[in-house]
Structure 1
Amino acid sequence: MVFLIQNSQNRDTSALQIKLDEEPEEYSGYMSSDLIRLLGYMNDVECQDRLRGFLAIDEIQTKFDASIALARNGQTVDAAIWEELAASNDFRIELYEELEAMDKEALFPTKYRTQAYFAEAYLYNYASDDYSPSEIVLLGERKATFKGSLARFFIFKVAYGEEGEENAESYLGMVGPFSLDEKEWHSTDALTMIYWEEMFDKKKVDEWFRSLLKSAQEE
């Protein structure tokens, strides 16, 4: 059974042939994404089974695409898969937004429904420009007046490279404002900032936080 779809990522725009009788692990990257979209669109029993096969592949992008396709078609996905996806700073925000768009945000794992986890993911995505951080460490939270209202901010140490390595660097990161009500754990208004002027120094955390907050107030 052969289907022909157009691969928009292929520079020569050649057609990509997808054979459903091949094993899911034979696909990777954009090829698996194309196939998953096609299977989700067709949405019959055979295609649902093929989508579930992708959940066993040890590639988180593939698991994400297959899980969303299954959920969109009203199929169940093991809670452990949702937990794995929500644990990833790469996919936490996108996962919640996809589920919310389907009115299925209840599937988002309870453990990660916190302001701190969302702040961490916001910061990770912001800091992953040329390179992704090797580690993001929560230092704590601060309450401060922001544009006339008291709000919560989270501060982190953002590290690039392993400590002790020649090119290792670390900086102070700030994410906020969040509501003082911890039940309001998702913020579409949160600003993400990093103090790039100097390398991380725990003695200057509060000083740099005030500097970042002042800059945020002016935006």
Structure 2
Amino acid sequence: PRVVREPKQRGVIIQGLFRSNYVIFGVSLVTNVFGAEEAAAASILSAVLVPMYNVLAVIALTVFTGGGKVSLKKTLKSIATNPLIIAALLGVFASILKLRFPAFLETSLRDVSRLATPLALIVLGGDFSFRKLKGNMRIAGVTVFIKLVVIPLVFLPIAVLAGSRGPSLLALALAWETPVAVSSYIMAQQAGADGELAGQLVVLSAVCCIPTVFLMIFILQSMALL
């Protein structure tokens, strides 16, 4: 709050710093690098990150967007009624109960799930305005730089010192290095925050992560850590 003066931008920047599209990009990249048999750590991590990202995003947007007194009751209600959190919990229960749908329905749901993020990115790209980005370029650029460069430089050495290697290290790295989640744009709009800035963070991070992910994997492989 001392750095960002606009209340509607504070929660957006906070969720932009920690929230990533790990499920789509992270798991598939670990699988491509190490193979499906070695990607278990990446899949397990996604089960932890998805609920955590959504709960923390609701808290960040609720606490920092209003600029006034925070209502604990309102914050808990926002968490409990968030569609992404409800969906994640239903998915966990379905997995525990080993719930299975008819083959035609499972195939349809799987196809829809694969289409969701690319379609959201297409819609977001169509709504993207370079003219509006000009006003937010500095704050969006700094946020993306901290997310994709500064945070990995701080936490990757800690992960290495803690003993992470191979698929688990790459999974952890991609939890920071993947683009800002597309759903952050929708949640920012629903919370009355700066949805325009949230969308710009998604687009910028998606473009900027291409060289940063490449360099990160190259450096880690050069150091024999992957």
Specify which structure has the higher proportion of helix.
Answer: 2
Calculate the TM-score normalised by the size of structure 1. 0.24
Pair member with larger Rg: 1
Specify which structure has the higher proportion of strand.
Answer: 1
